[in-house]
Chain A
Amino acid sequence: SQKIEQNSEALNIQEGKTATLTCNYTNYSPAYLQWYRQDPGRGPVFLLLIRENEKEKRKERLKVTFDTTLKQSLFHITASQPADSATYLCALSSASKIIFGSGTRLSIRP
C-alpha cells in the first residue's frame, strides 16, 4: 500500500541554523509533492509545490528538493527563526488523489 514517512520525532534547531525535514514515500508515483505548515489548533497552510520533473524549488527562505529515484523530498528552512516553529506536512498528489504524511514538529529555539 502507499505509504508516506516523515520524521516522527520532533526536530529542535538553534535559531539561525538550517532546518531540514525529510519526506519518504513508497508504492506511489506522484506527479506533485506539496509541503504544508500547520500551527497548533489550526488548519494546514500550503507552502510549496514541486513537480516530478523538477529537482528543486525555492521560495524566500524555503527550499524543496524532489528525488523520484530515491522517492524522497527534503524541505529546508534557512536562517531559521522561532516563528518557523510548527508542524510541517508533506503531501503527494497525482491526478485526483492526494495523501498526507503525519508531519514533523519543528521547534526553533532562540
Chain B
Amino acid sequence: DADVTQTPRNRITKTGKRIMLECSQTKGHDRMYWYRQDPGLGLRLIYYSFDVKDINKGEISDGYSVSRQAQAKFSLSLESAIPNQTALYFCATSDSGTRLRPDTQYFGPGTRLTVL
C-alpha cells in the first residue's frame, strides 16, 4: 500500500550493529505496528502504538525498541543486531475510529533484513 512506506527495503548488516527501520504513513491513522515475519511462523507483533504517547510491547519485543516521532512516523531499532533477527519486517497502521473495520491493518511493503 503506497500510503504506508518503509525504508530501507533491503538491508544487510553484521552482528552487533545498530539498525533502524523507518515507517511513514499518509493514511492519517493513529495506530501503528511493527511485525516480523518468518517462514512457517507467520506475523508476530513486536511493538505497537495507539498514539504518539502510547507505546506497547508485543509478543516478541526483546532485542527491539521503537520510537513514535509523530503520528505519521514509527521507527524500529535493533540496538545490537543478531543473526536470528534476520527476517521480513512489516509496519502496519489501523484506524481506531472506524466502527466498520476495527483494527483492519494496512501494511507497508516490508523490509528484508539480513544479519550476518
Contact = CB atoms under 8 A, between A and B. Distances in A.
Interface of A: 4, 8, 31-32, 34, 36, 41-46, 49, 89, 91, 93, 96, 98-103
A90 to B, nearest CB: 10
A10 to B, nearest CB: 12
Nearest to B48: A96
A46 B50 contact: no
19 contacts: A4-B42, A8-B40, A31-B102, A34-B103, A34-B104, A34-B105, A41-B112, A42-B109, A42-B110, A43-B90, A43-B107, A43-B108, A44-B107, A45-B1, A46-B101, A46-B104, A98-B105, A100-B44, A103-B42
A46 B105 contact: yes
A8 B9 CA distance: 27
A43 B104 contact: no
Taking residues whose C-beta sits less than 8 angstroms from the other chain, chain B's interface range is 20 to 34
A28 B56 CA distance: 21
B64 interface: no
Interface of B: 1, 4, 35, 40-45, 50, 90, 92, 101-110, 112
A66 to B, nearest CB: 15
Contact of A43 (B1, B40, B45, B101): B1
A68 to B, nearest CB: 17
Nearest to A102: B42
Contacts of B43: 44, 89, 100
Contacts of A101: 42
A4 to B, nearest CB: 8
A49 B110 contact: no
Contacts of B103: 32, 34, 93, 96, 98
B105 to A, nearest CB: 7
Contact of A41 (B4, B106, B110): B110
Contact of B50 (A34, A44, A91, A96): A96
Contacts of B1: 43, 45
Contacts of A45: 1, 107
B104 A49 contact: yes
A46 B35 CA distance: 16
